[in-house]
Structure formats: structure tokens, C-alpha cells
Amino acid sequence: MIAAAAAGALLLTGGVTAVANAVAPAGTPVAAPVKVAADVLPAPENVVAQNRISVGASSKAVNAALAKCQADKLPFVTVALVDRFGTVQALLRGDNAAEHTIEAAKQKAYTAAAFGAPTSELAKRINGNGPSIADLPGTLFLPGGVPLKVNGVSVAGIGVGGAPDGALDEACATAGADALAAAAK
């Protein structure tokens, strides 16, 4: 279907992107397709499927989380939804949110996604004496991150940063997760 849309133009798969970006500004005719040798297709036994939160759901979640914070008179937060690979899916920075809230929201979201538990729970496991999981790169064990699970597997996380108390951050993140629940339809 996608390929059909590109008929006569680009060899358009989900993976063929931006090829003609270099060619010209808006208005230039679409570039000719990339001609490639017959693609090698991996056999089915070499492939695994992985669940992810869709972009539509991701947008719904971060908006719900921000709305909760705004209702709580905490508009100056950043909300992020990231996957298990640490990549942001959706992000909203509240008006007047300070700079570090962006990275804090991402890291809380990632930490929850990677460990499959709220960061408020994970934080209890770190006593501060000697090396700990708090040393792991890209993680942040402050309250405000909650995981999203599909079939018992953590596939993403929502993180909020900027409220004056981590419990307030977490309430917003949870509101974001709730917006995706079956009952929330």
C-alpha cells in the first residue's frame, strides 16, 4: 500500500526515507527511485516481533500527563514517553519548564521502561553505600517514571520532571499511563 503510493517515483518502503532531501527545496519533482539489486530477505526464523506504543497513543499519554500536572497547578514540567531503547516517542515541555526537566523526564521514563517498575519503587533499592544501579549510564532513580507493559513485558515508560516533589511528578506520569489503559478507551 505504501509502495503503491510511491509508484513511478521512489522505491518507497517504510525504510526508504529522505533520499531526495539533498536534491532540492520544496517544489522540486520527486526524485527517481533508488535502483537496487534484489533485496535479501531474512528467513522467518531469523525475525522476532516486538511490541511498541504507537505514536498516536504516545501523544495521547503525554498530553494526559501534562493535563494532570496543569490541573495540579504544576504547569512547569516536561513529560516524555520513551521506548526500551531509550529513544523518545513523544515529548511535551510545559511553559516555563527549566532545561534539565527535559533530560530528567527522558531518563526517568527510560529507567522505568528498562527495569519494568516505577522509579519510586526502584529508588528504594539503592542505599547509597558503594556502587549501585544508580551508576548505570542513562538512568535516573528519582520518582516520576512509570513503565508500560504489554503481555507482561515492559515496552516503554512515561517520565515527568519539574514538580517540587517526586510524588507529584509520579501522579502525572500515572495519569499518562492511565490514558492508555483498556478502560480509558
Does 145 engage in binding with its own copies (CB under 8 A)?
A: no
Say what angle helices 55-71 and 166-178 make with each other, to 10 degrees.
140
**Smallest distance from its own copies to CB 68, Å:** 14
Burial class from Cβ neighbours inside 10 Å (0-12, 13-18, 19+) for residue 62 reads buried
**Residue 182 sits in the site that holds its own copies (CB under 8 A):** yes
**Which of 64, 68, 159, 166 touches its own copies (CB under 8 A)?**
166
Residue 79, C-alpha cell as written in the block: 513529560
**Comparison of 68 and 104: residue with beta carbon closer to its own copies:** 104
Which SS3 state, helix, strand or coil, does residue 146 take? strand
Tell me how far CA of residue 157 lies from CA of 52, 72, 80, 98, 162, in angstroms: 11, 21, 8, 21, 17
Q: How far is the CB of 180 from its own copies (least distance, A)?
A: 4
Per-residue binding letters, 14-53, with its own copies (x by CB under 8 A)? xxxxxxxxxxxxxxx-xx--xxxx-xxxxxxxxxxxxxxx
> Could you give the CA distance from residue 166 to residue 124 in angstroms, rounded to a whole number?
13
Q: Which of residues 47-86 bind its own copies (CB under 8 A)?
A: 47-60, 62-63, 66, 72-73, 75-77, 83-86
Closer Cβ to its own copies, 68 or 120, answer by number: 120
**Pairing state between β 145-150 and 78-83:** unpaired
Applying the rule CB under 8 A, the residues between 87 and 116 that interact with its own copies are 87-104, 107, 110, 113-116
In the bound complex, what is the minimum distance in angstroms from residue 17's beta carbon to its own copies?
A: 5
Which of 64, 159, 162, 172 is close enough to bind its own copies by CB under 8 A?
162
**Bridge-partner residues for 146, per DSSP?**
158
8 binds its own copies (CB under 8 A): no
